[in-house]
Amino acid sequence: MLKLFFPNIPLLWIDKETETGRYIQDMQLPVPRVYDRVKWREREGIVYEKIEGPSLLNQLATKPWTVVKSARLLAGLHVTVHKITAPPDMETQRDWAGGGIQESTKLPPKTREGVVQLLNTLPAGNQLCHGDFHPGNIILTKRGPIIIDWMTASKGTDVGDLARTSMILEVAKPPQGTPLRWLLEWIRRLLQSTYVKTYFQLHPVDMSLYFAWRAIMAGSFMEVCLPEEESTLLRIIEQGLRSWQGG
């Protein structure tokens, strides 16, 4: 499969994706194989293994009764990722998340200042982090589940990456007026709670760090979120700041 990039995508980003793909492949993670870096019709590209199968998200949509099994699979795969040490020259989780916070125009100034101060107090870490780990980025293939979309990979802490996924699953609510919205919302809540519970069972983390990182990740997500998601993100941020401050 040839992935072509638009001309406005910086070469540095494409180089990063290529290098990350080769590294995680060498680490024996369940990921698409990287075959080559090419240029086709004046566009930069990467030749990947063709991955065929539904995403975990699509399976949930067609087989909602698999939600608990899917959440446990998601948690197990994420723990596997976090057992890998990131390459030393990879962008740090702190820099990646901090950039989104500093650039956000939706965060109230005092809240943004509090989130930045919180970020600067947290451990940096050297574990491999995906940055966008959710059911849409897990493809169910004949050779097993495959983790895709590593463009936001970074070097950081497992608990920070866990918090990012937890935040994504909490924010991704079905819009008002969606048919059977109550059922979709129930599935979403069960998916998130089972994923987090299973992750903690497989790989315990410091709960205070978990809530702190949820605030960080919610802050970094504010600028790109939908209007209806802002109140949930602000609530997550306030909860994390209060928890870290002991209030």
Cα 132 to Cα 84: distance, rounded to the nearest angstrom: 17
150/210 same-domain check: yes
85/114 same-domain check: yes
User: 159 is in which domain, residue-wise?
Assistant: 56-244
Residue 209: the pLDDT is: 94
76/197 same-domain check: yes
15/93 same-domain check: no
Q: What is the dihedral of CA 63, 66, 68, 73, to 10 degrees?
A: -110
Q: How many domains, in total, are found in the chain?
A: 2
Of 16, 32, 48, the position where a domain reaches its end is: 48
Cα 87 to Cα 50: distance, rounded to the nearest angstrom: 25
HEC string for 215-244: HHHHHHHHHHCCHHHHHHHHHHHHHHHHHH
Residue 176: the pLDDT is: 62
173/69 same-domain check: yes
For the full predicted model, state whether its pTM sits above 0.85. Answer: yes
Residue 2: the pLDDT is: 85
Residue 7: the pLDDT is: 84
Residue 157 phi/psi, 5-degree rounding, is -110, 145
What CATH number is associated with residue 99? 3.90.1200.10
Ordered mean pLDDT values, 10 residues apiece, the chain (247 residues): 85 88 95 90 89 93 94 98 96 91 87 93 94 96 94 95 96 64 82 97 94 95 86 92 75
Number of residues that this document lists for the chain: 247
15/36 same-domain check: yes
> Which one-letter DSSP state was computed for residue 66?
G
Cα 86 to Cα 6: distance, rounded to the nearest angstrom: 28
Residue 178: the pLDDT is: 53
33/62 same-domain check: no
24/111 same-domain check: no
171/189 same-domain check: yes
Among positive and negative, which fits the CA dihedral 218, 78, 158, 128?
A: negative
208/188 same-domain check: yes
Q: Are 11 and 53 in contact (CB under 8 A)?
A: no
114/140 same-domain check: yes
Of 31, 48, 65, the position where a domain reaches its end is: 48
134/101 same-domain check: yes
Residue 153: the pLDDT is: 95
Helix (H) or strand (E) holding 127: strand 127-129
